[in-house]
Amino acid sequence: MRAGGYWILATDFHVHGFPGDGALVPWLLRDEAARAGLDAFVLTNHNRVSTGRMARRLAADTPGPIVIVGQEITARGFHIAAAGLEERVDWRHGAAAAIRAVHAQGGVAIAAHPSRDYRMGWDDAALALVDGYERAHPSMRAPENAADFAAFGARAAALHPHVAAIGSSDFHNGLSPGACRTWVLARERSAAGILEAVRAGMTVAVGIDGDLYGNAEALRIVRLAHPPIPESRRATAWSRASVAAVAIGLLLLAVL
């Protein structure tokens, strides 16, 4: 979909895959992403890029969502969904150093689920450097988390006015990729175009109930275009029941 001279690309910047910490192998993940109506997703396993690189290689030259290599830089006090990497980023030297390492590779850094449990590591140096933050994430169903994400965004915007509002599913299993997503206003329909739009803050985060967050200009363009949000992004009673059944099964396995 195009509007205002931009491509509007449905992107999920925070998806986990197998091997690693997600349930789905790369080709099934891409099928699920296509089913959810995504144009692109970033594979962000915890502190590794190998599965993302494999996913990108397998996706090359076949139709379907754009696959971007990333890493969830995972440390005590912060998680960062980094997009546009080739090599693993060291997570041991603080958030600002990690973001500089992401930028050195040409990538963008997004503060992941910045609720109070994950923001101790965010000092002003890191906030001034970060390219985006998760304004929408499935954990926003808890009102205190939604309030924390908004407060984090206000703090970051004071230091970095173009910080991008991002919506991500943090998919491991259950729900679906794109459960929360981002409308990216990109000048070109490519991984590079998506990263450039994040740097420019031209994004709109889509919340778990379809609510929109972003800067006034990006919101205006998206509202004009009114892109559709597939129903599959919503958790159905069956998907909740199946997640609950897995949890109960694991519990029984542990107890018995």
Query: By the criterion CB under 5 A, which residues form the site for Zn ion?
Result: 72, 79, 112, 170
Q: Which is nearer to Zn ion, 39 or 170 (CB)?
A: 170
Length, in residues, of the chain: 256
CB of 75 to Zn ion, least distance (A): 10
Q: Which is nearer to Zn ion, 72 or 218 (CB)?
A: 72
- Between strands 164-167 and 132-136, the pairing is parallel
Question: Before 19, cis peptide (omega within 30)?
Answer: yes
Q: Which is nearer to Zn ion, 3 or 25 (CB)?
A: 25
Give the residue from 26, 70, 52, 35 showing the smallest Cα distance to 166: 70
Pair 30, 5: CB distance under 8 Å: no
Q: Which is nearer to Zn ion, 117 or 144 (CB)?
A: 117
Please provide residue 99's backbone torsions phi and psi, each rounded to the nearest 5 degrees: -65, -40
Pair 194, 66: CB distance under 8 Å: yes
Q: Which is nearer to Zn ion, 79 or 135 (CB)?
A: 79
Q: Which is nearer to Zn ion, 21 or 196 (CB)?
A: 21
CB of 113 to Zn ion, least distance (A): 6
- Between strands 2-3 and 6-15, the pairing is antiparallel
Q: Count CB-CB contacts under 10 A for residue 79.
A: 25
Alpha-carbon span 71 to 52, nearest angstrom: 8
Buried b (16+ CB within 10 A) or exposed e, 6-15: bbbbbbbbbb
Alpha-carbon span 95 to 81, nearest angstrom: 11
